[in-house]
Amino acid sequence: MTQPDPTPDGRQALLAFLTTHDGDAGCGPTREVLDLYAEEILAGLDPAVRFPGVAIHLRDCHPCADDLAGLLALA
């Protein structure tokens, strides 16, 4: 299973960024609930239970994950 990847890294990253995965909430919905998501983390809860699509999205979307990190840093 070692195939050379003909795609340059930049393009690969862009494709990964643009590709939505099953259940991925997407940037818009994620940002709408990001403060609630952060509150659940701060309360010691697992926000993935309430916002599974957001949890999936945050794994792949660095801008949104950065925003979440910013919210948590401010708390």
Count of residues that interact with Zn ion, criterion CB under 5 A: 3
Least distance in Å: CB of 3 to Zn ion? 29
Q: Is the distance from CB of 64 to CB of 30 less than 8 angstroms?
A: yes
Token look-up 């659940």 returns 40
- The separation between CA 69 and the C-alpha centre of its own chain, rounded to angstroms, equals 11
Under the criterion CB under 5 A, does residue 25 sit at the interface with Zn ion? no
Least distance in Å: CB of 4 to Zn ion? 30
Whole-angstrom distance, CA of residue 41 vs CA of residue 43: 5
Under the criterion CB under 5 A, does residue 61 sit at the interface with Zn ion? yes
Position among 27, 33, 48, 71 found at the interface with Zn ion (CB under 5 A): 27
